[in-house]
Homo-oligomer: A and B are copies of this chain.
Amino acid sequence: MDAKKGEHPRQSRRERRIERRRREILTAAAQVFAQKGYAHTTTKHLAEAADMAEGTLYNYFEGKREILLAILNEMYVPIDALLENARPLSTRDDFVRIVENGLEIFVSQLDFTRALLTEIWVDDVILNDLIIGRLQYIGQAIRGFIARRIEAGNFRPIDPEAATLMILGGFIALILPVLRGKHPTPTAEERHRLAQTAVDLLFDGLRVRENQ
């Protein structure tokens, strides 16, 4: 129980094993939640998917709900990285790049995202954390970008609020069919093309410019 041969290696190895186990559980759980929805998933399902006994789950998580919240946490890291990257967001290419990165994140975390879909609308912690915390942050970045561009005379004086919502909605709509498994997951090239189309549409609209 006490130190032997230096504490680090031993503690560390144990911690690493625990961390590995937790991640195994989360990966498996995300798949099951994604397929059945949180409420319809039983701990038995989770245990089977993680290939362990039900009781073992409780050695790594406090309960079913905590597993879901841990999944939520897993998504923060790449999203925060994305936001960090997107901070400047000043040119059209910035926009393409951030949309592309966003698509990449969702694609690489499909199961985690899907897992949250059902409880998003119901669980206030998740809703506030994810939607309010992250999405609003993203929204602000976009709103700021638009406002600055309008001020600079590059963008038409459109209500930035509505525009932001539609941009986010458009982006979500692009991945929703994939999340629902109705579309195959797009390749890197497809993601690039999608991002360009999206930004193109947003910037220039559907209508033909008369004299260009």
Contacts and interface: CB of A to CB of B under 8 A. Distances in A.
19 contacts: A36-B122, A117-B121, A118-B118, A146-B206, A153-B208, A156-B209, A158-B197, A162-B194, A165-B173, A166-B170, A166-B171, A166-B173, A166-B174, A167-B170, A170-B170, A172-B173, A203-B206, A203-B207, A205-B206
Contact of A197 (B122, B162, B180, B202): B162
Contact of A170 (B146, B153, B169): B169
Contacts of A205: 201-206
Interface in A116-172: 117-119, 121-122, 127, 131, 146, 149, 153-156, 158-159, 162-163, 165-172
Interface of A: 36-40, 114, 117-119, 121-122, 127, 131, 146, 149, 153-156, 158-159, 162-163, 165-174, 176-177, 180, 194, 197-198, 200-212
Per DSSP, chain A at the interface is: helix
Copies in the complex: 4
Contact of A174 (B114, B146, B162): B162
